[in-house]
Structure 1
Amino acid sequence: MSVAPLAWRAGATLLAPLLPFHLARRARKGKEIAARLHERRGEGAERPPGRLFWLHAASVGETLSVLPVIEAMAARDPALSFLVTTGTVTSAELLARRLPGELAPRVAHRFAPLDVPAWTARFLDGWRPDAGAFVESELWPNLLAAAAARGVPMALVNARMSPRSFARWRRMPGLARVALGGFRLVLARSEGDAARLAE
């Protein structure tokens, strides 16, 4: 493993003791739900029996885009359950409002764990998804590396990589390989995005 992924991993581990204070401050501003802060540490898994598909949708736009995906997959496989992780309170509220009532028992929502190795490991070991997909552009190297280490097949769908993000990732090629290399399938939203992701 190159230096950048090791530095990311070490930096996240060193910052972990300070993150509860950061989360509590966000909760006071209404950007987190105080009673659910433990989810950001990867706690609170309630894995249902049977197959579980994990969808990570960072915010409102991504959450809207996964709703028809969940409906289509649920119709195709009546035994499949879903875990949806998001990063914002508004996306969690939107999911609760927009999810069809008949699907609600099959869909669990959790706030995504912060990208601390111990927290991502706890999250994945608790939920044990059979497969998963990230939507658009949010890439968390420790979480994705942990999923790859556990053999969880992952996809990146409607994938975006803006020229600005590309310039940032290009300065950390080792970290980019960790973040993107674990995906077995990448479906880009445009030819330009596909070219930047491939490079």
Structure 2
Amino acid sequence: MTPSHWREALALRLYSLGVWAAQPLLRRKLRRRAVQEPGYAEAVPERFGCYAAPATPTPPLWIHAVSLGESRAAGILLREIRQQQPSLPVLLTHGTATGRTEGQRLLADIGMAGDQQAWLPWDTPAAVARFLQHFRPRMGVLMETEVWPNLVHACQAANVPLWLVNARLNEKSFTGARRLPSLLPPAYRDLTGVLAQTEADGQRLQTLGANVLGITGNLKFDEQPALALLQQGQHWRSLNAGGHGKPVVAMASSREGEEALWLDAIHRLPDPRRVQWMLIPRHPQRFDEVAELVQGRGLTLSRRSQWQADQPLPTADVWLGDSMGEMPLYYRLADVALMGASFAPLGGQNLIEACACGCPVIVGPHTFNFAQAAEDAIAAGAAERAPDMQQAIHRALRLVQDAAMRTASRVSAQQFATAKGGAARATARRLLSALR
């Protein structure tokens, strides 16, 4: 064994010991999370590689989508795979309750008999080995960022090809990976293949040793917003306009801390009631907390969960989007959206979906998770960047009060979203070719 191999083996061993020792902490964390999100209490033994349901007779294509955004991207890819190879059984794995819920929806909509869903196990050698022995996947596909050292090592030892697709790696994560040269770069190196979103992502991944085989673009450009949701959003939008309603400014996919910034900025306006405000928190466990925060500022509030599809929207200072899976409805209803997770140092949320619904976007200073998409959207006139929340709201007000600018921005947003498609087809073809 060479010195470098010895260091890598030692690093993996120490990492495995640390992950094994942290298992009681994981169990405690799951119990705490389950208080607000009951999904975390489901099938807990699966987190440790113990699966009750029998595996499919035919080894499946395994796709891992850790959370909500990755699960939606996996759904785009899965639809294309179904078109090219309809009979292929699929195993979907997740790490969060929102990801698992979205995965259930995917399998109900585009699955076939024999498809399965499970939690990906905690990254200990024993749990990962039990997972692979139980499901016997033909190939593994990791969505976007989910590279775990023991998982990669076990797949290589079991001759399970493991791909990273729709791959992204921001500068912060790249720097962090380089600080662990004997642990993370070997994990990237041992992946079978990587299909990256952008040239910059591909370059960073390649520097870590990954076998980058293509720059296929972002799967989310191939997302087709649900027609029924667009129609309902348009129906309410027409009723709002017909009733001489105000322009709608949305704060979309907000994260903890951003709602307070948003409320502070609204409070400073000389006439905050000249537009209709809409607030859509990213995580469902925070809906009640955010509602209390809004009402604590003296603002009236109406919750989407209490609206009737065939009735005009109620009068309130703030509409609260307290539902899951309805972002196309909210984006079609809104005239402009402020993009959550970009006003706190969290990297931003997916702005492509908003643009596909014809909703122009204003992003904050922090978009490192969607850097290329954000820059491209700004260059196309589909988005603007603001240095802080107060400036973002001022720019939103300027946009909604200029009818010509508002129309041009909606057109630019849709053109931007439709101009970069094709990632799903290219990714599915590459994976299925490797599978054959």
CA distance in 2, matches of 1:31, 1:117: 28
Output the TM-score relative to the length of structure 1.
0.90
Shift of 1:104: 4.4
**Could you say what secondary structure the match of 1:79 adopts?**
coil
**Could you say what secondary structure the match of 1:156 adopts?**
strand
**Could you say what secondary structure the match of 1:138 adopts?**
coil
| 2:70 aligned residue | 62
Judge conservation of contact 2:40–2:96 (CA < 8 Å) in 1. no
| 2:115 aligned residue | 107
Q: Which runs of 5+ in 2 are unaligned?
A: 208-436
Spell out, residue by residue over 1:35-89, the C-alpha distance to the aligned partner (whole angstroms, 9 max, x if none).
3111111111531112310001111111111113222223333331101111111
Q: Which has the larger radius of gyration?
A: 2
Shift of 1:152: 0.2
| 2:23 aligned residue | 16
| 2:128 aligned residue | 120
| 1:53 aligned residue | 61
Out of 34, 41, 61, which is 1:27 matched to? Answer: 34
Shift of 1:166: 0.6
CA distance in 1, matches of 2:33, 2:128: 20
Out of 178, 184, 189, which is 2:186 matched to? Answer: 178
Spell out, residue by residue over 1:6-51, the C-alpha distance to the aligned partner (whole angstroms, 9 max, x if none).
2211211222344333322332342643231111111115311123
**Could you say what secondary structure the match of 1:174 adopts?**
coil
* Residue type of the alignment partner of 2:95: G
RMSD: 1.9
Would you identify which runs of 4 or more consecutive aligned residues in structure 1 move more than 4 Å?
A: none
CA distance in 2, matches of 1:102, 1:15: 37
Do structure 1's residue 91 and structure 2's residue 95 form an aligned pair? no
Judge conservation of contact 1:55–1:85 (CA < 8 Å) in 2. yes
Structure with more relative contact order (C-alpha pairs < 8 Å, separation 6 or more) = 1
Q: Mean alpha-carbon deviation: is it higher for 8-17 or for 146-155?
A: 8-17
Judge conservation of contact 2:93–2:117 (CA < 8 Å) in 1. yes
Judge conservation of contact 2:63–2:142 (CA < 8 Å) in 1. yes
Do structure 1's residue 7 and structure 2's residue 14 form an aligned pair? yes
| 1:197 aligned residue | 205
CA distance in 2, matches of 1:104, 1:46: 16
Judge conservation of contact 1:40–1:113 (CA < 8 Å) in 2. yes
What number of residue pairs does the alignment pair up?
199
CA distance in 2, matches of 1:65, 1:187: 14
Percent sequence identity over aligned pairs? 35
Judge conservation of contact 1:31–1:88 (CA < 8 Å) in 2. no
CA distance in 1, matches of 2:170, 2:86: 37
